[in-house]
Amino acid sequence: MSPLSDRPFQFAVLHQDRGGAARLGCLHTPHGDVPTPVFMPVGTAGSVKAATFEQVAATGANLILGNTYHLYQRPGHELIEALGGLHRFQGWDGAVLTDSAGFQVFSLNERVKVTEDGVAVQSHLDGARLFFTPELSMQIQLSLGADIVMAFDHCLPAASEPAAVAAAAARTGRWLRRCVDAFGAGGRCRRGAYERVLFGILQGGILPDERRRAAEEIGALDLPGYAIGGLSVGEPKPVLHELAAVAAALLPAAKPRYLMGVGFPDDILAAVLAGVDMFDCVLPTRMARTGSVLTWDGRLVVKNLDYARDERPLDPQCACPTCRRHSRAYLRHLFQAGEMLGPMLATQHNLWFYQDLMRGIRAAIAADQLTAYARATTQRWQNGETDRQTRAARRPPGGRRRSKPAN
């Protein structure tokens, strides 16, 4: 493992895009510096699915996400702590951010019961009843050894009633104060050999006024960083972009802003333009496992018959090991044959694509060209998506291509 830095966690804004809210920055963590804007691969259960940590690091990623809910159930936070913490346990030299288990309130909606004390949830593994509280969430994440710990929050679907959204946002604020009390003053805690920090989460659904009220409340705690939660949970894409911009403007400018669970390239570009610094999403790994890859010209479903004889790389513009060595035809064969190498190669490409996107964004901000870069990249992506959907509409069941569109 690489040596730890004794330097306390710090976020520095290095440059702000001329005439816009986007900024180039750096997260100084005990496990290394992380340039922002940054995309974090998701390592749910102690692994980034279908990739080795050497492959993840080779993409340029140096901050990944771990999942509190899953790691609590197996192998257990106490075991991981006894074996040296999550970094050592999984063999990752970079920084780690852990979520709080709060998202499971949303994703396991039919299995949960929320009270002021916490959340009762039925395990998806064995049906056991679990009870998460802000205090337990802090305990688990500190045991895991995350550099960045997320507060326990209450997230609701986009279509929730305004009264329910307001109640959840208020509860998130109360739970945040309990998290701070359990974690440490100012959201900082030195445990073992290095400092850990706590980020608050802004809820409020699609209600700007509720977001504003909640932002004032959590901003007064002056934590090391803040996240925007409760988006990408079923709202239309224009609403996602609008609310991300509203929420980012409400959060302290001197602190990192993290948009949780987002997303596609056009979503990331829109949020960076609004001043967001950090992102995570399961899209690159989840899509890869089902035979979909991301390119600058939209998604490519490599399992389709169209690519059976296609000798081109997944994306001619990509320099990842998959694209340097293998063809679309070969990837399609692997998926058709059920070979595990297919999802592995697709995952490697998708992870590389996201890091290439973030490198391009950072370079554009440094050159004061982000608006033009975002416009061109988004237009190219959306044009590709339109073409993909048109081709899919012309493809009959079973994947055979028609010679002409159906009447």
Residue 407 confidence (pLDDT): 30
The amino acid at 275: G
What is the predicted pLDDT for the residue at 105? 64
Q: In Å, how far are 281, 331, 345 from 290, measured between CA atoms?
A: 16, 12, 12
Q: Would residue 153 show up in a list of annotated catalytic residues for this protein?
A: no
Q: For the chain, what is the total number of helices (H) and then of strands (E)?
A: 15, 18
What DSSP assignment string belongs to 304-340? SGGGTT--S-S-TT--SHHHHH--HHHHHHHHHHT-T
Q: Per residue in 381-392, pLDDT tens? A: 999 999 999 988
Given this model, what pLDDT does residue 398 score? 60
In degrees, rounded to 5, the angle at the alpha carbon of residue 113 between the alpha carbons of residues 112 and 115 is 140
Q: What is the pLDDT of residue 405?
A: 37
Please identify which of the residues 17, 99, 266, 277 carries the catalytic annotation: 99
Average pLDDT per run of 10 along the chain, which is 407 residues long?
83 95 98 98 96 98 97 97 98 97 78 93 92 97 98 94 97 98 98 96 97 98 98 96 98 98 97 98 97 98 97 98 98 98 98 98 98 98 95 74 38
Q: Is 222 a catalytic residue?
A: no
Q: Is 2 exposed, middle or buried (0-12, 13-18, 19+ CB in 10 A)?
A: exposed
Domains of the chain by start residue, with CATH: 10-281 (3.20.20.105), 288-394 (no CATH)
Beta sheet of 10-16, edge-to-edge order: 10-16, 23-29, 32-36
CB–CB of 48/64 below 8 Å?
A: yes
Name the catalytic one among 266, 280, 315, 356. Answer: 280
Q: Is the alpha carbon torsion for 329, 335, 336, 339 positive or negative?
A: positive
SS3 state of residue 379: helix
User: Is 41 in contact with 339 (CB distance < 8 Å)?
Assistant: no
- Cα separation, 391 vs 394, in Å, equals 5
Q: What is the pLDDT of residue 401?
A: 47
What single-letter DSSP state applies at residue 36?
E
pTM of the model: 0.95
